[in-house]
């Protein structure tokens, strides 16, 4: 199955949304994202439903359990099955978190990797192996984290840039994660985004978070996107250009019509920047 062109604004493909999506996919939704671990061995009604959508819409695979920074051996069986799944459904892009989630079993959380030169080489080696097995260049997502590493010899920005350079991979920019980390670790989110390598950014996420305290935000994907994060997305497009961007909502999921309002907001910001680019090109 040939890949469909990935562009525009997207939404996570969740089973509870399938009935509404089968009735009508709102015009604002250009593509969907799914976690391959939840769908690889899916047959029956859900498997047929998925096929009906992948034949008509582009999809992205966003991994949850590869544990790129973990100490345990890379799950090459999962990668092989993921490649087969992506080939079968015409999915080109695979992204994963720049974190780890396993050590002698899954830890059921995404934990931060120490920002060290040793970790850069470890993670980059695993990313290169993942790319070899998937037969695709992958994108890694900047992760939220809450406790600074006591052994860091570089900051978060330098670590991300070093990993993508060493691994020869792309970057999945989660705008809300930048905002959350900027509050929790007291840095300027705009300067952080400005310093990221434009040529590596191929995909973006938007999401809401929970305010635990004035200086502690928790990345929950369980609330609406707030205005400062919308402004940061707008700035990201201005600095790096428009990339396919997905709305994440994993908890407190409202009806499809409410979710689509935020997807449409992404699309409006993208359209504004496309018009600006066209005007600049014509002048």
Q: Is the pLDDT of residue 107 over 70?
A: no
Judge whether 2 lies within some domain: no
pLDDT of 104 > 60? The answer is no
- The predicted model gives 5-10 an average pLDDT of 97
Question: In whole angstroms, what is the distance from residue 143 CA to residue 136 CA?
Answer: 22
Whether residue 156 is contained in a domain is answered as yes
Residue span of the structural domain in which 38 resides: 9-282
Identify any residues that bridge with 172 across adjacent strands, giving them in sequence order.
141, 203
**Mean model confidence pLDDT for the chain:** 92
User: Does 1 map to a domain?
Assistant: no
Q: What CATH number did the domain enclosing 216 receive?
A: 3.20.20.150
Q: Which two tokens stand for residue 191?
A: 């300067």
91 pLDDT band (50/70/90 cuts)? Answer: very high
Strand partners, 205: 174, 246
Mean pLDDT of 6-34: 97
- H or E segment to which residue 279 belongs: helix 256-282
Mean pLDDT of 249-269: 96
How confident is the model over 239-257, as a mean pLDDT?
96
Summarize pLDDT for 161-212 with one digit per residue, the tens: 999 999 999 999 999 999 999 999 999 999 999 999 999 999 999 999 988 9
Please indicate, yes or no, if residue 212 is contained in any of the structural domains. yes
CB atoms within 10 A of CB 154: 17
Indicate whether 223 belongs to any domain. Answer: yes
Distance CA 208, CA 210 (A): 7
Number of domains into which the chain is organized: 1
Instruction: Give the per-residue pLDDT at 3.
Output: 82
The C-alpha atoms of residue 184 and residue 179 are separated, in whole angstroms, by: 9
Position 16 in a domain:
yes
SS3 of residue 139 by DSSP: strand
Answer for the pair 134, 86: CB distance below 8 angstroms, yes or no: yes
Q: What is the largest CA-CA distance in the chain?
A: 59
Q: Write out pLDDT tens, residues 72-84.
A: 889 999 999 999 9
């Amino acid at each position: 199955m040939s890949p469909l062109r990935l562009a525009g604004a997207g939404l996570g493909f969740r089973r509870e949304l399938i009935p509404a999506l089968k009735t009508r996919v709102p015009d604002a939704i250009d593509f969907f994202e799914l976690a391959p671990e939840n769908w690889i061995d899916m047959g029956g009604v859900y498997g047929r439903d998925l096929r009906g959508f992948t034949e008509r819409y582009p999809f992205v695979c966003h991994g949850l359990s590869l544990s790129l920074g973990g100490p345990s051996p890379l799950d090459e069986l999962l990668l092989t099955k993921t490649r087969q799944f992506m080939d079968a459904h015409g999915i080109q892009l695979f992204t994963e978190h720049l974190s780890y989630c396993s050590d002698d079993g899954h830890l059921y959380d995404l934990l931060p990797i120490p920002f060290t030169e040793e970790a850069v080489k470890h993670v980059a080696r695993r990313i290169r192996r993942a790319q070899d097995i998937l037969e695709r260049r992958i994108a890694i997502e900047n992760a939220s984290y809450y406790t600074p590493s006591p052994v860091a010899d570089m900051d978060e920005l330098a670590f991300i840039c070093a990993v993508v350079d060493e691994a020869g991979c792309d970057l999945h920019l989660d705008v809300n994660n930048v905002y959350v980390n900027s509050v929790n670790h007291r840095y300027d989110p705009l300067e952080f985004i400005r310093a990221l390598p434009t040529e590596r950014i191929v995909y973006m996420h938007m999401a809401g978070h929970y305010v635990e305290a004035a200086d502690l935000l928790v990345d929950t994907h369980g609330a609406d996107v707030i205005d400062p994060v919308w402004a940061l997305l707008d700035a990201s497009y201005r600095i790096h250009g428009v990339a396919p961007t997905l709305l994440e909502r994993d908890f407190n999921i409202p009806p499809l019509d409410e979710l689509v309002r935020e997807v449409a907001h992404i699309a409006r910001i993208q359209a504004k920047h496309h018009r600006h680019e066209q005007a600049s090109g014509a002048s």
